[in-house]
Structures are given as structure tokens and as C-alpha cells.
Amino acid sequence: MSLFALTIAELREKLRTGEVSAREVTQALLNRIQAVDGKLNAYLWLNPDDALAQAERVDAKSDKLLAGIPIAVKDVLNVDGQPCTCASKILKGYTSVYDAQVITRLKQEGAIILGRTNMDEFAMGSSTENSSWGVTRNPWDLERIPGGSSGGSAACVAGDEAIASLGSDTGGSIRQPAAVTGCVGLKPTYGRVSRYGLVAFASSLDQIGPFTKTVADAATMLRVIAGHDDRDSTSVPRPVPQYSIAGGVKGLRLGLPKEYFIPGMDREVEAAVRAAIRQLGSLGAEIVEISLPHTEYAVAVYYLIATAEASANLARFDGVRYGARVRGEDVIDTYGKTRGAGFGPEVKRRIILGTYALSAGYYDAYYLRAQKVRTLIRQDFEKAFQKCDAIVTPTTAEPAFKIGEKSADPLKMYLCDIFTISCNLAGNCGISVPCGFAGKLPVGLQILGKAFDEETILRVAQAYEQSTDWHKQRPVL
């Protein structure tokens, strides 16, 4: 099998024993990117010489967890000396001056930072169509979206253009693209991974997590990036477990929330997910009916809280310290012109909604009320987790849609995240794993866990993955 098609675990074995070198692996990936990225447009930036130089420097025979493994990163994470545009015109030409904490950790474990992946501008979107640098295409059907906002990070793993990648998940931006491209996507618990060096979108929701080809690889990536960092006060000083994924599901109680099977759901998606849940039952898990009654309000809560936080976070893009500046008559006029020219339509739309929700006279009715309903959503999960160890749901209600299909209607696009958003609002962890196909398009099973209980969802995911071969299916490019 070609080197680019292997997993972290498989490649580490070959690298450790000296069967292949880090340079050969990196070159194999660069060749693969050369061959297929013209079709996918997963990468925004690549520096082959730099990647090969990193490969030369690494001791691939060491015991480091990612020694010699080429990994792609979403264009929202700072890597010293690389551009970081968040797929926005307003950051065109920006060069990072430091490493994000997750990048420091990848480098410490010997990973090769391969390149930067496409995304919805400032991580706002569910299709990667909101990128200022063109859409990314789904490796399973080039007419379709790869999900979003981390669409490039998903497509590059699904298309074998990286062994693994990092993305960020504010309302589903890792799990949803993982589901529709047929890879594994993990959103760790809020506070588990340092966001130092992640360009902030909605600070009470953002988390960084991996895209991988297998559950075992996701556990490896989490071991590398998890942990306290004194430069992110929201990162929690809890020890990082080994994330042992063996053990199976026998004796585990898996909650099936009735609110996650909605009218209008794609029938093949529903059938695949229900079959996966039956499979988990036959592996020894006890399936219990649960209710998350405030689920229907999650999208509304999310779009008030996330946009309000974004309106504050994105105030820093004002053409003073970085990015493109459009000069106006005075400083206020300069801000307005710079931001009017630099931000794309979805970013403007969300900043406007968020600004409105926070503005005098409307704060109580919108933002504060949303925060209260957020409490009710959290409490739904607390109650549910008294009855079960993890929750199983579809990751999305439908498979990848066609490019352009939803871009005219923002609300329709927002509803794509209906099953993934609550997890961010509650601050829990979640993972999406491949569980079948709707026609030729991948379907994802979402497993949600308690805060800081990644081990259980990884264990469930591993047990499921090992009893199927969905994760071995690859698109033909």
C-alpha cells in the first residue's frame, strides 16, 4: 500500500524500525498532494522544501508519538513563520510570529507540519464555501462540499493528502466535516486543549481537535495536544490520561436521544446510524432511551452566543496592527472601510447579528436569554449522563450537499449543525466516526461524552470501528 494511505500507527511502526524514512513519507505525501489537490483544493499553503527539511531533522526511530508523521493544520492556527489568514482577505500577507501551543506539542513529538488547510472564513460556516480562497471539494464527490468549517483539514485526510490534521470545532466544525468526508473527527472537552495561538471565533465554545483515519490515531493525537498551558487560562490543570481505547462496550450504557431523529432526515443516513447503534448493542452495549428536551433551541442559542462573542473577538481586525488597511478620512472611517473591504459576507452577517444581540436594549432579550437556555441545554446533558455513559446520535441529518445548494440561505446552512452544536454549548466532548454510506457519500456516527471523559467515547468508537470496515473505504481520486 502507498505510504500516503497509511495511518499514524502503521507509519510509526515502519519509521521506528527504519523500513522507511521520514523523508520518504513526506515526499510521498507531497507527491500525492501534487497529484490530487488540483481537484480538492484542500491546501491553502504548502512549503515542500520546509516540510522536507523538517523530515531531515527528525529522528524517526525515536519513541516520540508523531516522529516523522506529516500533519496538516487549519489556517486558523499560528505556526511561526507561516502565513495565517483564516481564509480571510483581511489577513492576506500576515505571517505568524509564534507557534500555537498545539503546534509546539506536535513539534515536540516529532510531527512534520506539512501545510495549511482551507476553511470557512474565520471558521464561520458548514461547507468551506465561505473561504476567500475558493471552495474545497469533497473527495467522494467533487461536486459536493467537504463540510465546514474545517473542510480542508477533513478533505486532506479523506483524500490521503495528510496522515492526520488539526481543525477547530465551535459548533461542529470538526465532527460535521469528518462525517461527510468519511474520517474520524474528535472535539475534545472545553478546557482539555490549550487554544493559545488559535485565532478566536467564539471563546466560550472553540476547541481544537484532530482529523484522523482511525480511532487509535485520534487517541494518539489527543495525547499529544491535550493538557494544561499557562498561556490559556481556560485550559484545565488535569492530568492527561493514556487514552487507552481497548476494553469494548460490554456493560456500557449508551443513550439514544429521541430528539436526534428528526422529520426530514435523510433516510439512508438514519438507516446507517440506526444500524450502527444496533451493532453497538450486539457488541454488548446497553442501549437506553434518553431525552435532551432543549435540543430544538440549540441552533438559536448558538447563533446568538457565537455571533456575540465573534463580534467582540473580531474587533481586533481593524487594520492597525496587521492585515490590509483601507484608509478613510479618520480612524473610525478607516476601521469601517478596512473591515468592509476585508471581511466576506458571512463574517459581516455574523458580526452584525452579534453586535445587534449585544446592543443596548436588546441584550436581555437575546444574549442573556440565550445564555439561560444554554444552562438548560447543559442540564439536559447532566441529567442524561446519570442514565448513560455516552450518547450516540447521527453527526448530521444528511450527507454532503452540492456546492451552492445552501449558500443563498444562511438559516438553512446554520441548521446543518443541529446535532453537533449542543455538545459545544454544554462543553462536553464528541467524536464522529464513519458508519456507512448514503449512496456513495459517507455517513457519520456521533458519540458524545461527559466532560473530560474522552476515554469512554474513544473506547465506544474503537469497538464500533473494529467491528466494521467503513473506515477502510477510500474515495477514488
- The footprint of another protein on this chain (CB under 8 A) covers a number of residues equal to 73
Q: At what angle do helices 215-225 and 454-466 cross, to 10 degrees?
A: 160
Spatial distance between the Cα atoms of 167 and 364, rounded to a whole number of angstroms: 33
* Residue 196 binds to another protein (criterion: CB under 8 A): no
Query: Closer CB to another protein, residue 243 or residue 363?
Result: 363
* Residue 355 binds to another protein (criterion: CB under 8 A): yes
* Residue 27 binds to another protein (criterion: CB under 8 A): no
Is 204 in the active site?
no
For residue 162, which of 121, 221, 203 has the smallest C-alpha distance?
Answer: 221
Spatial distance between the Cα atoms of 226 and 255, rounded to a whole number of angstroms: 26
Query: Closer CB to another protein, residue 179 or residue 304?
Result: 304
State which of positions 81-100 bind another protein (CB under 8 A): 93-95, 97-98
Which three cell numbers, joined as nine digits, stand for 144? 459536493
For residue 293, which of 336, 324, 257 has the smallest C-alpha distance?
Answer: 257
CB of 366 to another protein, least distance (A): 7
Give every strand in the sheet of 390-394, ordered side by side. 43-46, 112-117, 70-74, 164-169, 207-212, 184-187, 429-438, 441-449, 390-394, 253-257, 286-290
In the block, which residue shows the cell 473494529? 466
What burial class does residue 364 get, using C-beta atoms within 10 Å of its C-beta: 0-12 exposed, 13-18 middle, 19+ buried? exposed
* Residue 315 binds to another protein (criterion: CB under 8 A): yes
Catalytic residue among 126, 165, 173, 432: 173
Is 126 in the active site?
no
- Residues paired with residue 432 on neighbouring β-strands, in sequence order: 185, 446
* Residue 451 binds to another protein (criterion: CB under 8 A): yes
Query: Closer CB to another protein, residue 38 or residue 237?
Result: 237
Catalytic residue among 126, 132, 149, 150: 149
Among 247, 349, 405, 477, binds another protein (CB under 8 A): 349
- What end-to-end distance do the CA atoms of the chain give, in Å? 16
* Residue 339 binds to another protein (criterion: CB under 8 A): yes
Query: Closer CB to another protein, residue 114 or residue 353?
Result: 353
Angle at 355 between CA 353 and CA 358, to 5 degrees: 110
Spatial distance between the Cα atoms of 317 and 319, rounded to a whole number of angstroms: 6
Is 173 in the active site?
yes
Among 375, 382, 387, 402, binds another protein (CB under 8 A): 375
Among 16, 107, 337, 474, binds another protein (CB under 8 A): 337
Among 304, 421, 438, 457, binds another protein (CB under 8 A): 304
* Residue 122 binds to another protein (criterion: CB under 8 A): no
Among 175, 374, 459, 471, binds another protein (CB under 8 A): 374
CB of 171 to another protein, least distance (A): 13
Among 319, 394, 442, 475, binds another protein (CB under 8 A): 319
For residue 25, the number of C-alpha atoms closer than 13 Å in the C-beta half-sphere is 33
What positions carry a catalytic annotation? 74, 149, 173
